[in-house]
Amino acid sequence: MFMEIGSRSARGYEFGRTYVVRPKGKHQATIVWLHGLGDNGSSSSQLLESLPLPNVKWICPTAPSRPVSLLGGFPCTAWFDVGEISEDLHDDIEGLDASAAHIANLLSAEPTDVKVGIGGFSMGAAIALYSTTCYALGRYGNGLPYTINLRATVGLSGWLPGWRSLRSKIESSNEATRRAASIPVILAHGTSDDVVPYRFGETSAHALAMAGFRQVVFKPYEGLGHYTVPKEMNEVVHWLASRLGLDGSR
């Protein structure tokens, strides 16, 4: 079912190669990690392989190559189409749904005793957060059911698509309210980010909290631009280990 949604909604765009970093210890958690605009799963896997989380399997897919409005229609790897990042950004729901379904499909094959999560950088963080709202609502933007039981979300230097209408959607369902309250989310953003301005990270964290996501952590990084640094990744490692109850985290 998921593949059908993905291939149909992606307007024929093919997802690229998926890279997997296997756990060095007992497999306790699987996290799909999503790259930024124009990047690929290979560079994500190299970064994640070095992290001290031996019980985590990392799945690093590559977005389809598609024309991107922000780049004047120039094609590059992108999880969805995006224009200029501003307060009145138009959300490409079809593209968001296609990528969220592709990610869900990757996680659907994981063993039932393994906790699953999603993380990403920049546009990858946006699709991770969108997937998290699909989890809470129990459905994609197109109304089809979202069936993955997400346990943690990481968003670095990104933004939350659909943030304006999220609260009213969540509040209209007791089940959505319960799920929103249950999932831990960590957002981190550099104060000197010149690609996705810092205020979008702050607004996203606030919108999630107002919509009833009670376990949201927002970490500002003074002077950090649009990239990650070891200190930030160390915080993510500690946060994931404690939230997912990984061995050696207590």
Tell me the per-residue pLDDT of 147-202, one tens digit each, with 9 for 90 and over.
999 999 999 999 999 888 888 999 888 999 999 999 999 999 999 999 999 999 99
Pairing status of strand 150-156 against strand 216-221: unpaired
pLDDT digits (tens, 9 = 90+) for 130-154: 999 999 999 999 999 999 999 999 9
pLDDT, residue 87, reads 65
Report the mean per-residue pLDDT for the chain.
90
Number of Cβ within 10 Å of residue 101's Cβ equals 26
Report residue 247's pLDDT band, with 50, 70 and 90 as the boundaries: confident
pLDDT for 245: 92
Q: What pLDDT shows up at residue 164?
A: 81
pLDDT at 4: 30
pLDDT band at 248 (very low <50, low <70, confident <90, very high): low
Quick one: pLDDT at residue 3? 29
pLDDT band at residue 114 under the 50/70/90 scheme: very high
Integer Cα distance of 59 and 41 in angstroms: 8
> Could you read off the pLDDT of 67-106 as tens digits, one per residue?
999 888 889 999 999 887 766 667 888 999 999 999 999 9
Residue 201 Cα distances to 19, 29, 94, 118, angstroms: 27, 26, 23, 17
Distance from C-alpha of 106 to C-alpha of 179, rounded to nearest angstrom: 21
